[in-house]
Amino acid sequence: MNRNARLSRDGSFRLLGFLIVLIIFCILSPTFARFYTDYLWFESLDLAQVFERRITASLALAGAAALISVAFLLLNWSLVAHWIVPTERLRRTIPLSASLRSPIRGRPPQRTQIDVSARPVRIAFAVGAVLIGVIVGVSLSGEWQTLLLALDAVPFNFTDPIFGQDISLYVFQLPWYRVLLGRGQILLALALGGVLARYALFGEIRARGVTAHLSLLGSAWLVLMGCQRLLSRLALLQTQEGAIFGAGYTDIHARLPLYTVEAILFFAAAAILVINLFARQWRLLIGIGLFWVGLTLIGPLYPAMVQQFSVEPNEFALERPYIEHNIRYTREAYQLGDIAEQNYAADGILNQSELAADADVLRNVRLWDYRPLLRTYSQLQEIRLYYSFHSVDVDRYQLGDQPTQVMLAVRELDVDELATQAQTWINRHLVFTHGYGLALSSVNDITLEGLPKLLVRDIPPISDDPILDIARPEIYFGERTREYALVQAVEEEFDYPQGDSNVYTRYQGSAGVRLGNALRRTLLATRFSSTQVLLSSALSNDSRVLFHRDIRDRAETIAPMLWYDDDPYPIIADGRIIWLLDAYTWTDQFPYSQPMTGLNYIRNSIKVTIDAYSGEIHFYIIDPQDPVAATYARIFPMLFEDGSQMPEVLRSHWRYPETLFLYQSELYATYHMRDPQVFYNREDLWDPPHELVETEQQVMEPYYVTMRLPGSDEPEFLLIRPYVPRQKQNMVAWLYARCDGDVYGELGIFKLAKDRLVFGPLQIEGRVDQNPVISQQLSLWDQRGSRVLRGNLLVLPIQDTFLYIEPLYLEAESGQLPELKRVLVAYADRIAMAPTLDEALLQIFAEGGAGSAASGISAPAENESLEELAGRAWQHYQAAQACLEAADWSCYGREQSLLESALKLMVHEQ
């Protein structure tokens, strides 16, 4: 074999070895493993196109930016610089060695010049240009979303009040222009710095060609500065320098013309530097540089003088039109302009017949606060230590012929709660893989012990109504399900406990990434830092790994551009448990709109559903009029579905999201004032009221109720929140959002008359504490090894007046099992406390008789079961006691008679 053939073979072996090392590095690299397994995960959801769209846009942007950056830097650092200074040698001046220095004292040390090859310097600049250009390009890859929004922008058809530009310019295009401008300035600064360094090294800094090159780069820099000033003109509508957010008087009459003049001057200075390509004068370069520094330092003085000497002495008169802009655009950005304003006289007089007419509303008054109910559920229904309830949600179901408001919580599995000796890899990832079922109860049904009456309970789940039956109770995807799980393995999975033994199962769904061959296993093992995934004999090629099981994380991984609500809620639909997650489109670029916690535009345009068993996920656009959602639909048409395609069984459980309502109610407290002068003086500021919850005072949260809106015949599911004046406690208005059917999302406000006092929640709390009988009873309970917990005080608008209802719970200091023991009801100047809502209402409205009718307690019927008759007897006994406390003897006699009838029927049933 000749020498050339041997060298060729050695070179081939080296190349092959390099490729093998590269492949192994990629496989073992956590970044590559995460990237590839994420692709497999998207593919398992039939959403590979979403992943590819994001990656393609990111790579294309990074590649284009890197190519442009490398080409620009090479052009300036190598080609042009070498053309201007073509020397092949670097001339360096160095001092002579000590032995060769002049012996004459006082003479300066002698120096000599040597020539050094310029090639290493040129290579270093070329390599530096490539590396820095690639870094600049890669840094731009994360802006793929900004680019796609700019390219696929849907117009708002709503223009700004100053320049008359569509809002989409500010929301979609302007952020991309800022990105381009910022990267351009960085690239140009790097080019300038490198050019100066190269010419200095070659000792040619004063050459005429160098002056021309620097003039050209300086001209480009000034053009970018001029463009920056033009963008700053638009950005004035998104800043806060004066009385309101957005451009004010000083911005429009001082900063705006200043930016315009500065832009013209920068463009003119750039033109002068272009002329200097031929004149090639260093003095002109220095002069333009001093001009730029001076303009940057002196420019801000003019607006400051206008603000101090013109605006501040006469602020409202000059700022009035801009205050109007702020009010109008804030109301548009948060949909406050859609709130229907009406008056609520609050002068109605409740009586027993009207209460009877609203019996369906009173049946759905929420007596269970989610905080104590979560602890009660935990004690009654967690069953085993490794099960846990994360949160309690409010919803409604049509049970029989009645809409029923319920509270429910999903029973998830927390592997961290397994016994210490059970904390093995197989148990955590192959055996204990899922939670099971949920607990559900009516909002106001209680047992004789003061505990919730569960309509769905136990393991396997037992349901009291067919619509609540659950055929697939396994919870593989939930709010606290964060560990990866390996299913369809050799090991069977724990399903649920049954007596002293356990029931086991195998996952029947298609979710997850198939382990497949050794390469995929290696990548998955690298991702999860687990050698067991690679080596365990309990797994086969057909085994699947489930990850991204936290439902918010699951949605965020697919669509990170959306903001997701913190409170997803479960729905029982056709025997399955489906999570419904509200998603928000938002921006912080809406002109003249008041920012709140980092955004100044928000819509609940998208609802996400996730199957708790299969992990199947859908993104539904429910507000196609939202330009931000419409733009995302253009970018990802394969991801978003029309809201009309959501099954009706899920659609009937839509809730107006509390997070969005909080934003709107907080801002409306100020932006209900549309008169600029009233707004400027803050004459009519509102606040959400305070209440006592458990043992602490806190701001009242919005709450869901079933009630009739004034003028409506049918009760509906609403989200409401009262208002009080700033630093006052009387109620002045209540805001509502509708949740049902075609009226979903409609907002309204009922304003109370300002010439009459309507008690606010904290005033009702104070009246309760001042009632000697009630306060004495509460004090006694607090001193007997237990504590009294106050639930949400519900302000219930009814029949043009208000009922105030507050549950009281008793919790032993040594336990965590709150029991509902009393219900407080306040109306007008009356307050009552009784074991049940019906009894408390009887005490309030006993004067007119017909107490049972008013409370909604009907007479016992012969077709009722023994259990129902027992409950009926207990209700009539409690009602009789309430009548006795109210000294209403006719009412007491009626209830005793009905109690007797119920007892006789019970004897007959036996």
Are the beta carbons of 408 and 452 closer than 8 angstroms?
no
Are the beta carbons of 155 and 628 closer than 8 angstroms?
no
Residue 855: the pLDDT is: 40
Residue 779: the pLDDT is: 85
Residue 160: the pLDDT is: 97
Which amino acid is present at 320?
Answer: R
- Mean pLDDT is lowest, of 38-47, 306-315, 428-437, 617-626, for 306-315
Burial class (CB in 10 A: 0-12, 13-18, 19+), 696: exposed
Which residues are CB-contacts of 861 (< 8 A; sequence separation ≥ 6)?
none
Residue 499: the pLDDT is: 85
pLDDT band at residue 294 using 50, 70 and 90 as cut-offs? confident
Going by DSSP bridges, is the β-strand pair 617-621/640-642 parallel, antiparallel, or unpaired?
A: parallel
User: CA 162 to CA 259: how far, in whole Å?
Assistant: 15
pLDDT band at residue 749 using 50, 70 and 90 as cut-offs? very high
Residue 845 reports pLDDT greater than 80: yes
pLDDT band at residue 7 using 50, 70 and 90 as cut-offs? very low
Cα 427 to its chain centre, rounded Å, is 33
- Mean pLDDT is lowest, of 99-113, 378-392, 470-484, 493-507, for 99-113
pLDDT band at residue 309 using 50, 70 and 90 as cut-offs? confident
pLDDT digits (tens, 9 = 90+) for 673-686: 999 999 999 999 99
pLDDT digits (tens, 9 = 90+) for 489-516: 998 999 999 988 999 999 999 999 999 9
Q: Regarding predicted confidence, which is higher, 234 or 264?
A: 234
pLDDT digits (tens, 9 = 90+) for 112-167: 555 555 677 778 878 888 898 889 888 899 999 999 999 999 999 999 999 999 99
- Mean pLDDT is lowest, of 13-22, 310-319, 416-425, 625-634, for 13-22
User: CA 876 to CA 904: how far, in whole Å?
Assistant: 14
Q: Which residue has the tokens 């559900």?
A: 440
pLDDT digits (tens, 9 = 90+) for 202-247: 666 666 677 778 888 888 998 999 999 999 999 999 988 778 899 9
How many helices (H) and strands (E) would you count in the chain? 31, 34
pLDDT digits (tens, 9 = 90+) for 527-551: 999 999 999 999 999 999 999 999 9
pLDDT band at residue 471 using 50, 70 and 90 as cut-offs? very high
Residue 847: the pLDDT is: 46
Which residues are CB-contacts of 354 (< 8 A; sequence separation ≥ 6)?
799
Residue 726: the pLDDT is: 94
Residue 690 reports pLDDT greater than 60: yes
Q: Regarding predicted confidence, which is higher, 448 or 86?
A: 448
Residue 81: the pLDDT is: 53
Residue 853: the pLDDT is: 33
Residue 4 reports pLDDT greater than 70: no
User: CA 66 to CA 140: how far, in whole Å?
Assistant: 9
Average pLDDT, the chain: 87
Average pLDDT over residues 551-561: 97
Are the beta carbons of 611 and 470 closer than 8 angstroms?
no
Q: What is the dihedral of CA 482, 484, 488, 494, to 10 degrees?
A: -50
Residue 586: the pLDDT is: 97
Are the beta carbons of 386 and 728 closer than 8 angstroms?
no
Residue 248 reports pLDDT greater than 70: yes
pLDDT digits (tens, 9 = 90+) for 856-897: 455 555 566 777 677 777 777 777 776 666 555 566 767 777
User: CA 596 to CA 240: how far, in whole Å?
Assistant: 13
Residue 12 reports pLDDT greater than 90: no
Average pLDDT over residues 470-495: 95
DSSP string computed for 502-555: EEEE---S--SEE--SHHHHHHHHHHTT-HHHHH-TT--TT-EEE---BHHHHH
Residue 576 reports pLDDT greater than 60: yes
Q: Regarding predicted confidence, which is higher, 269 or 650?
A: 650
User: Quick one: what percent of the chain has pLDDT higher than 90?
Assistant: 61
Residue 327 reports pLDDT greater than 90: yes
User: Quick one: what percent of the chain has pLDDT higher than 70?
Assistant: 86
Residue 875: the pLDDT is: 75
Residue 114: the pLDDT is: 53
Q: Regarding predicted confidence, which is higher, 261 or 596?
A: 596
Cα 841 to its chain centre, rounded Å, is 40
Question: In degrees rounded to 5, what are phi and psi of residue 287?
Answer: -65, -45
